[in-house]
Structure 1
Amino acid sequence: MSQFTGKPILAVPLGDAAGIGPEIIAKLCANGFLMEHAKPILVGDESVLKRGMKDTGSDFAYVVKETMEEAVEEAKKETGLVLLNTKSLDASKVEIAVVSAVNGKEEADNLVMIMDYCKKGLVEGFCFGPLNKAAMKKGGYNFESEHELFAQELGVMDKPHGEMNVLDGLWTSRATSHIPLKDVSAHLTPKTVGDAINLAYETLKRAGYEDPKVAIAAINPHGGDSGTCGREEIDVLQPAVAKANAEGKSIVGPFPSDTLFIRAFKGDFDAVVTMYHDQGQIALKLKGFERGVTVAAGQPYAITTPAHGTAYDIAGTGTCTTSAFETAYKLCAKMAVTDRTYGKQ
């Protein structure tokens, strides 16, 4: 039985201090959104939060705590917003819209700290303000992306994990990610494709889908034209689909990717497994870049963020939209509650 009840306790780190994260979070604190869906604990330097408030013209009350234990006890009361003040930056010295090693280290340090508190059972997950990968690398966290940092800290490096993207209820995962296009076919095996299918399926189950319907995309034009335009569909993708179906999963495909997303956006599928990075990213970002959400799939805790990034071009102006963070936050809350019982029956 989970020790947690009611709304989930979620950490909300402010993200990259030079980007729009503090502004987004300030807006959602002011309108009551964060409290409505969870018991939030803001994590970051108070001066950065205050700058976000100033930039957006927001005003709201919050209680400052110096330890996560104190912050959790305050959040449980649901009487107002709580800030775990990390005292880790001086907002007056932060250059807006500039990639900074100091900011990168600070945002990654906060994530590592939050993951430690997740492992200690104090918080159930986190929805983080947009971060900057280049800044993190400059700050000493030399990972391909934050997802590898999560996997290392949470002990799942040897298990299927990675980024999933969500737009208007459609999820995508991918069998390969940040590798050159010329190397994709060599990395497609029944195991790698099967892992991507399973990751998508299990993540959707954690998100509350009772029987997720997942389609997989072909890699070759016209789905390989029965082997006359490539054999990956016959030799790799079809066997992976057959194995997943034999395990009781609702998996269909492979379908040519130039028409697959037309069906997917009509609601025929809950998720699409693509074969390489841009195959799904182009479709989702063209359809609704400003609304997309990124989910850290395969991690033991609920972890989400907006997909749009730090938006340096508008940082400091107070003009950021909050829709993507709202979706990410609600999804994080839903997954955290599902995790209380998922896989424990």
Structure 2
Amino acid sequence: MTSHTERRPRIAVALGDPAGVGPELAARLLARPATFDNADVVVLADSSELADAATIAGVTPLVSAEPAPVRALLLDDGSYPAEPIPPRVVSAAAGARVMHQLHRALAMARADEIDAILFTPLNKTSLKLAGMDHEDELRWFAHELGYDGPTSELNILEGLVTARVTSHIALSEVAPLITSESVTSIIVLLNEVLKGSGIERPRIGVCALNPHGGENGNFGREEIDEIAPGVAAAVSAGVDAHGPFPSDTIFAAKRHEFDGIVTMYHDQGQIAMKLIGFDRGVTVQGGLPITIATPAHGTAFDIVGQGIANLGATEHAFDLAVAIAARRLNAAASPRPR
């Protein structure tokens, strides 16, 4: 039998929007000894911004500019702007800072220097002001990585994973994008993600779009013309998929029957998941060739500088990124059956 050597995943941590709670959360994460139990960590930040965040958080991050045991390696490229970035407001400067560090992370990923990326919360308006002209960061990541396969933001909480057919678009634009093909592709993507997490035959539920599931066409025909055929096509492809179910029913009464749920638009799943566990939810950029995770909450401008940001979702996001990256590494290193 051929043996192989396992190595620890290498995780890049980016501080998120400098005007929000992201730097504070990163400082707290990097002060947690357990962060380094199963991964090697590099931090993409200026030493002064990390030091300022640590002061707010009241912690001492375990970082060093030189490789050292049980420390994160701080990669300060001296790029922090001379003019301070104002806290608690959206700005092009804040968005540009985020994009700079994410560009660095993606370059490291393309060079096979890291196995996963963890970024703390960012602000989409600041990113738009800085020139990000994609629908959201997921599509920007895909563009930067040259990836044109199916993608979906995955929200993960307590044994349930949700994926979306549409995401960061206006509600008025949703219905035309609900096609049997788009529904099938996201069901199949979610099924593959869940199988990759170790679930041999995932159970997937699919949401309707309209109230009461369209009520037999009385409130819209998307369920009849597009969603149900999309589910049927996924079933024909071997996926254990069911639906469509009204979204209030599937989350209120049926969520424990499924490993994953496909929603039709952003808030349909996000409201439910955040009610289940706001401080524990994680977002993973699903479908990409590298693992990218972030806490599911936002930049929390209202509490910036108070040292009270809850680390729970960031901890879960980091630990999940490590676990997914480790599975990918082990799968790649395992000998193929002859």
TM-score (norm 2): 0.91
Within a 5 Å distance, the mapping from 1:270-309 to structure 2 comes to 270-309=259-298
How far is 1:305 from its partner? 0.2
How far is 1:78 from its partner? 4.2
8 Å contact kept, 2:64–2:73? yes
User: Aligned equivalents of 1:136 and 1:246: distance in 2?
Assistant: 41
User: Aligned equivalents of 1:177 and 1:8: distance in 2?
Assistant: 30
2:100 is matched with which residue: 109, 128, 134? 109
Tell me what 1:71 maps to. none
Within a 5 Å distance, the mapping from 1:152-191 to structure 2 comes to 152-156=143-147, 158-191=148-181
SS at match of 2:315: helix
SS at match of 1:6: coil
Runs of 4+ in 1 over 6 A off after TM superposition: 1-4
How far is 1:90 from its partner? 5.3
How far is 1:176 from its partner? 1.8
User: Aligned equivalents of 1:3 and 1:152: distance in 2?
Assistant: 33
Alpha-carbon distance change, 315 to 4 in structure 1, aligned in 2, over 3 angstroms: farther
Within a 5 Å distance, the mapping from 1:92-107 to structure 2 comes to 93-107=84-98
Deviation by residue 1:121-175 (Cα, 9 ceiling, x = unmatched): 110011111111111222222222211210101112x321131212222211111
Tell me what 2:227 maps to. 237
8 Å contact kept, 2:207–2:247? yes
Alpha-carbon distance change, 233 to 142 in structure 1, aligned in 2, over 3 angstroms: closer
8 Å contact kept, 1:103–1:135? yes
How far is 1:2 from its partner? 12
- Does 1:131 pair with 2:156? no
User: Aligned equivalents of 1:264 and 1:6: distance in 2?
Assistant: 40
Gaps of 5+ in 2: none
SS at match of 2:194: helix
Tell me what 2:8 maps to. 7
8 Å contact kept, 1:264–1:270? no
- % identical equivalent positions: 41
User: Aligned equivalents of 1:176 and 1:137: distance in 2?
Assistant: 19
Deviation by residue 1:14-60 (Cα, 9 ceiling, x = unmatched): 11112111111211222213212421111111111000111111124
How far is 1:203 from its partner? 2.2
8 Å contact kept, 2:207–2:243? yes
- Does 1:314 pair with 2:279? no
Alpha-carbon distance change, 342 to 229 in structure 1, aligned in 2, over 3 angstroms: farther
SS at match of 1:335: helix
Tell me what 1:142 maps to. 133
Deviation by residue 1:259-313 (Cα, 9 ceiling, x = unmatched): 1002344x21111111122211221122222222111011100000011111111
SS at match of 1:171: strand
2:237 is matched with which residue: 243, 247, 250? 247
Alpha-carbon distance change, 4 to 285 in structure 1, aligned in 2, over 3 angstroms: farther
User: Aligned equivalents of 2:275 and 2:324: distance in 1?
Assistant: 26
8 Å contact kept, 1:48–1:91? no
User: Aligned equivalents of 1:3 and 1:187: distance in 2?
Assistant: 45
User: Aligned equivalents of 1:147 and 1:47: distance in 2?
Assistant: 29
Tell me what 2:207 maps to. 217
- Does 1:80 pair with 2:71? yes
Number of equivalenced pairs: 333
User: Aligned equivalents of 1:78 and 1:246: distance in 2?
Assistant: 51
User: Aligned equivalents of 1:207 and 1:2: distance in 2?
Assistant: 23
Tell me what 1:195 maps to. 185
TM-score (norm 1): 0.89
SS at match of 1:209: coil
Q: Which moved more, 1:33-42 or 1:46-55?
A: 33-42
8 Å contact kept, 2:30–2:63? no
